[in-house]
Every structure is written in structure tokens, then in C-alpha cells.
Copies of this chain bind each other. A is one copy, B any other.
Amino acid sequence: MLERFKVPVADRVYVPDPQMRAAAEAIFLAMGLAEEDARRAADVLIFNDLRGVETHGVSNMLRSYVDGYRSGALNPRPEFVIERETATTATVHGGNGLGLHVAPRAMELAIAKAREFGMGAVGVHHVGHMGGAGYHAMLPLPHDMIGVAMSTSGRPIVVPTWGAEPRLGTNPIAWAAPAETMPPFVFDIGTSQIAANKMRLARRVGAKVAPGWIATADGTPVMEEIDPPEQFFILPLGATRELGSHKGYGLGAVVDILGSVLTGLGGGFISGIPGYHLMAYRIDAFTDAAKFKRDMDSWLRGLAATKPAPGHERVVYAGLLEAEEERRRLEEGIPYHTEVIDWFRRIGDELGLSFDFT
């Protein structure tokens, strides 16, 4: 997370993770979720908060999920219907359930198929927000598997390179791979320059929008630093064609093909319905798993030991800072903005729940 998005020190309230986990779980239960699903959904949010991925933690997302249950857009008790299935694949109707607990169920199916046949992939359609792809991509890791998770977005907000109309969601994609002793590799990105809810976060913490992140309403890339505007589109990863935005645009398109067209939904901006693509690879279907994890250790250690460029203290790899942050926050608690704590008090009052955040 860039410095500009962190909660200012004066506005921080530290909450131990078990307390916030209990609060999130209680809210999901109050929305009508089954106990197991509420536990899983809270786990995804706290996982993100512990790892410093605040864009996908309770601060930004929980209130929008509550809105979804209240409006009827989200179904608290979704069916999980397998519509098509082969030895290694399945396509699932997610019953308009929240992805936080539907995606793990789909990934478990992919893991079971990978265990038997080497690989497994499951597509899901008619499903809500995934809550960050990294969590789901990590589920195969304890099984000595590599995980992949992608999600399209219902609402297009990203312009194609040279385009003046949004055609893609921020279309996140994550790959995760285990190591032996080093923190695992967990690469979890939006294929756009920034996550859509980073703009919301930027407004809350008073952060500026950096050059190359957004386009004006006519599609022109904004290449200077500005305050978050009301009207904007997000640029694909790469910002401009000369800087490689065709690569971000294409990667977002891959997510649309696998998560949306391949699940039968049609193209994302046409259907307006989110879809997932989840995959698991069994490592020993390719090479010895113990050797793989030792090799990952050496390689990840080598990446982290890279001599830094002037002005930088160290080099990291995807998942390293997040693992360090998790260790820190398990000890110190998770820093939330006072505004978020206020929201919990309000929603608690509405739902007749009381939260202990000390």
C-alpha cells in the first residue's frame, strides 16, 4: 500500500484482530448468513486488514455488503449449483451469494479436481464481490498447489487504451505459490492502475491522485497529480500506450474472457454480471513438491536480497511486505480510521449488536 493511502496517525484506532473478526462475523450473521459462511466472509476481510490490504478490508467493503443484503442484490443463503462439469473443470451458478464465501467453495472444488487429475479450474457466475483475489489464490497452498483467482466486475470503469468509454472492470487477478520457510509468493493485483475503491479511500484519507492513474470523462489520461475528481475513468495498468497500457488492457481482457465469457455470461461490459475463474495446480504433477518449495525459498530470498537502487532501502517480492505487516498487526492490532469505528457503532445500534474494540 502506498504511503498516501495509509490512515493518518492522528485518526488511527488500533483494534485487535479477534475483536474486529467477531464484529464482522456478527454483522454477517445478522444479515442472515449461515454460520460457516459468516465465519469465512469475516476471515477474508480480516485477512486483508491484517496484511495491510485495507482497500479490501472491513473499512471499505463491509458497508457495501450490508447495502447489498439490504437491497436484495446479495442472497445470504445462496445455492451453489454446478451447471457443467468435467474431470478437471466446473461452471457454477453462485446464486447471487457474496464471493467471500462462494469463491472458497468453488476453489475447494478446483482443489479436489487437481488432487485427482493434476489441475482443476472452476468458473462461477451470478456471484457478488470476491473481497480480494489473494485470499482465494492462497487456498491451494497448504495442499502443495499453486492457486490462481480472477474476477470480473459488473460495472465497467476502466477505459481501453485510446478509449473514451469504460469497457472493463478493474478485473483483479492473483497467483499464489508456496515456499518452505519464506513467506509465500502472493501476487494480487487489479489489471487497472488503481482499485476502484482506492478513490473512495483517497477521499477519506485526503490523498491525491497520482499521474497516470485516471482519465478524464473524454478518455484523456491525467498525467499530473490532482485531487480525486467526481467524474473519471480508471486507466489500464501502464497508463498510456507508450508506457504499456495495452498490456494492462489486454490482461484485464484475459480476466473478462476467463471469468465472464467462459462462464457463459458473455463479455463483462455486455452482461454487467461479475464472474470468476479459479484454478489450482498440483505441484507434484510437474515436479517434486519439496524441491519446488526449497527452490522457491532460494529464489524468493534472492529477490529480497537484490541490491537496491539509489533512494530505496530494500527490494521485496509480492507477498513479503504483506506477511511482515500481518506479523506486526497480529501483535499491535489493526489501525482503523475513527470514521470506520463510528460506522461500526452506528450499524451495531441498528442491528442491536454491541462490539468490544478494546
Binding site for B on A (CB under 8 A): 2, 84, 86-89, 91, 117-121, 123, 146, 159-165, 167, 175, 177, 185, 187, 189, 193, 210-212, 215, 218-221, 237-239, 241-244, 246-251, 253-254, 256-258, 261-264, 266-270, 281-283, 285-288, 291-292, 295-296, 298-299, 302-303, 306-310, 312, 314-318
The answer to whether B287 and A160 touch across the interface, beta carbons within 8 angstroms, is no
Shortest Cβ distance from residue A117 to the other chain B in the assembled complex, whole angstroms: 5
Partner of A270, one of B161, B264, B283, B298: B298
> How far does the alpha carbon of A121 sit from the alpha carbon of B146 in the complex, in Å?
13
Query: Which residues of B have CB within 8 Å of A253?
Result: 185, 187, 303, 317-318
Residues of chain B contacted by A266 (CB below 8 angstroms): 295, 298-299
Known: A163-B315, A314-B162, A315-B162. A86 touches B247 (CB 8 A): no
What is the distance, in angstroms, from A177's C-beta to the closest C-beta of chain B? Answer: 5
Question: If A167-B302, A250-B189 touch, does A309 touch B243 (CB 8 Å cutoff)?
Answer: no
Residues of B within 8 A of A318 (CB): 246, 249-250, 253
| Complex-state Cα separation, A244 to B193, whole angstroms | 7
In the complex, the answer to whether A87 meets B117 with C-beta atoms within 8 Å is yes
CA distance A202 to B118 in the complex (A): 43
Interchain CA distance A244-B212 in the complex, whole Å: 10
Chain B residue numbers with a CB within 8 Å of A287 are 84, 91, 123, 261-264
- In the complex, what residue of chain B is closest to A293 when comparing beta carbons? B261
CA distance A247 to B212 in the complex (A): 15
Given contacts A87-B117, A123-B286, A287-B263, contact A247 B237 (CB under 8 A): yes
B244 x A264 contact (CB < 8 A): no
Residue ID in chain B nearest A188 by CB atoms: B250
Specify which chain B residues have a CB less than 8 angstroms from the CB of A162 in the assembled complex: 308-309, 312, 314-316
Q: Which of A91, A251, A282 has the most CB of B within 10 A?
A: A251
In the complex, the 8 A-B pairs of residues with the closest C-beta atoms, listed nearest first = A267-B299, A219-B309, A86-B118, A187-B250, A264-B287, A162-B312, A88-B118, A89-B285
A243 contacts B299, CB within 8 Å?
A: no
